[in-house]
């Protein structure tokens, strides 16, 4: 009654030495268990059969682990694969041979500290038969040390559709973190709504509902897949986002089918707090007099990345005693944006550099006239500074007429699901038994 020996995934069965110490150990174990089971029967004659322990082999990496002696560890800082192999009975020749043969599958430079690995031995004296490098939840590398082959094995991902609802206490991010939920969902929602609604405007009590996909590997959640749709209720207004792909563009659309992507991100720093608004009559804290504040201040910890709110060309990356280190970007013939008090510029940011929307251009600091770390964000329209929070940008291109009906079908189904999600006062995530989204 020893376990079936061998590998489960198209691995050949390997004969076992008949009298290995492990076999003797296993046989002893079996005899001992048999004795205890017999003993239990003697004491309690009517034990139901289901109460007896059933040994389930531990499966991992396509291998019945119980049939091997395993040695698990994690890659240490500055450790090379050679250090690991040579310390585990793999000869130098064996190592160079397998790495050379498998070099197209596994790049030794891909070894990362902190990642788990395991050696599988048939017994305590021989060299290991397998080495597994667990590169990520999504894949591992199986080194067959007898055949000198390396295989990259992708773990099958199961996608589960989930719906959820919640209430904002302090931020969207915290709504997830405070409830032990993956904040990756918050990031996806922020991506969806970044254009249409400044997330700094979310207030305590604002509600949201969403439909998303969770990626499960071997029973464990490994990440968030697609966000299908979401609604945010902010000061009585409902903001919808529906994931859809047209011939030209894949992304989020509002309920009318307008792409949610507009020309500018609403803020240059993620997760920042507005500490001072655009105000032509502000009392200046350092100069101690009324002085127009023609920008919006976003307070954030020193070193927080500052992102370009739209594509453009850097026209200034310099220093003045008032602005400190600052960057100015020309977006088109109408709009410029400017970012003040940076600790430093990001790599490659200098006059003439092309920047992409969302690209990090510098880091929050307090250079120049600033009482604390923040970015003073200035928005220029036709060379005059304006309050960007009050600007109404022109609507983005509408969806082409021939694609609108298909979008409406998707939107209606998602809308229907969103409406069935109860909105309670607590964060709630549940699995959808059926997958209405897949049929879209």
Q: Which residues bind Zn ion (CB under 5 A)?
A: 295, 297, 376
Nearest distance, CB of residue 373 and Zn ion, angstroms: 12
Nearest distance, CB of residue 202 and Zn ion, angstroms: 22
Q: Look-up: residue for tokens 């307070």?
A: 299
> What is the CA 71 to chain-centroid distance, rounded?
30
Nearer to Zn ion, 260 or 306 (CB): 306
Nearest distance, CB of residue 251 and Zn ion, angstroms: 32
Nearer to Zn ion, 176 or 264 (CB): 264
Nearer to Zn ion, 277 or 351 (CB): 277
Nearer to Zn ion, 258 or 366 (CB): 366
Nearer to Zn ion, 18 or 281 (CB): 281
Sign of CA dihedral 9, 13, 19, 24: positive
> What is d(CA 154, CA 31) in angstroms, rounded to the nearest whole number?
39
> What is d(CA 87, CA 43) in angstroms, rounded to the nearest whole number?
50
Nearer to Zn ion, 40 or 286 (CB): 286
Nearest distance, CB of residue 278 and Zn ion, angstroms: 9
Nearest distance, CB of residue 376 and Zn ion, angstroms: 3
Nearer to Zn ion, 11 or 274 (CB): 274
> What is d(CA 174, CA 200) in angstroms, rounded to the nearest whole number?
13
Nearest distance, CB of residue 392 and Zn ion, angstroms: 23
In degrees, to the nearest 5, what angle opens at C-alpha 250 toward C-alphas 249 and 252? 115
Nearest distance, CB of residue 342 and Zn ion, angstroms: 13
Nearest distance, CB of residue 268 and Zn ion, angstroms: 12
In degrees, to the nearest 5, what angle opens at C-alpha 351 toward C-alphas 349 and 352? 95
Nearer to Zn ion, 326 or 335 (CB): 326
In degrees, to the nearest 5, what angle opens at C-alpha 389 toward C-alphas 387 and 393? 100
Alpha carbon distances (Å) from 332 to 21, 50, 314, 362, 382: 76, 74, 12, 21, 10
Nearest distance, CB of residue 328 and Zn ion, angstroms: 14
Nearer to Zn ion, 297 or 336 (CB): 297
Task: Give the residue at shortest CB distance from Zn ion.
Answer: 376
Nearest distance, CB of residue 180 and Zn ion, angstroms: 37
Tokens representing residue 308 in the block: 């370009």
Nearer to Zn ion, 338 or 413 (CB): 338
């Amino acid at each position: 009654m020893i376990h079936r020996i061998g590998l489960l995934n198209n691995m050949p069965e390997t004969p076992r030495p008949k009298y290995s110490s492990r076999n003797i150990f296993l046989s002893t174990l079996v005899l001992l268990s048999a004795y205890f089971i017999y003993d239990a029967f003697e004491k309690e004659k009517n034990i139901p059969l289901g109460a007896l322990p059933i040994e389930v082999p531990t499966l991992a990496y396509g291998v019945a682990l119980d049939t091997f002696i395993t040695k698990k560890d994690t890659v240490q800082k500055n450790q090379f694969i050679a250090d690991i192999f040579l310390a585990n009975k793999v000869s130098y020749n064996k190592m160079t041979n397998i790495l050379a043969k498998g070099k197209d599958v596994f790049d030794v430079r891909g070894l990362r500290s902190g990642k788990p690995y395991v050696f599988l031995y048939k017994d305590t004296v021989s060299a290991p038969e397998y080495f597994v490098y667990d590169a990520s939840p999504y894949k591992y590398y199986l080194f067959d040390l007898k055949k000198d082959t390396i295989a990259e094995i992708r773990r099958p991902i199961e996608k589960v559709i989930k719906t959820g609802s919640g209430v904002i206490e302090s931020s969207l991010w915290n709504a997830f973190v405070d409830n032990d939920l993956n904040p990756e969902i918050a990031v996806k929602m922020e991506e969806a709504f970044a254009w249409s609604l400044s997330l700094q405007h979310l207030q305590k009590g604002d509600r949201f509902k969403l439909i998303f996909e969770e990626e499960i590997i071997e029973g464990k959640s490994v990440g968030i897949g697609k966000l299908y749709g979401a609604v945010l209720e902010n000061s009585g207004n409902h903001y919808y986002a529906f994931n859809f792909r047209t011939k030209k563009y894949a992304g989020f659309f509002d309920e009318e089918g307008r792409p949610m992507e507009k020309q500018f991100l609403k803020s240059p720093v993620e997760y920042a707090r507005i500490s001072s608004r655009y105000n032509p009559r502000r009392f200046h804290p350092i100069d101690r007099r009324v002085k127009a504040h023609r920008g919006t201040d976003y307070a954030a910890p020193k070193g927080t990345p500052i992102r370009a709110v739209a594509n453009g060309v850097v026209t200034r990356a310099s220093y003045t005693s008032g602005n400190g280190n600052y960057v100015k970007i020309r977006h088109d013939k109408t709009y410029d944006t400017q970012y003040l008090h940076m600790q430093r510029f990001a790599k490659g940011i200098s006059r003439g550099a092309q920047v992409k929307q969302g690209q990090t251009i510098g880091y929050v600091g307090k250079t120049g006239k600033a009482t604390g770390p923040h970015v003073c964000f200035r928005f220029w329209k036709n060379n005059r500074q304006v309050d960007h929070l009050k600007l109404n940008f022109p609507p983005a291109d509408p969806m082409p007429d021939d694609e609108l009906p298909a979008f409406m079908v998707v939107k209606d189904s998602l809308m229907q699901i969103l409406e069935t999600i109860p909105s309670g006062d607590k964060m709630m995530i549940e699995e959808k038994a059926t997958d209405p989204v897949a049929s879209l």
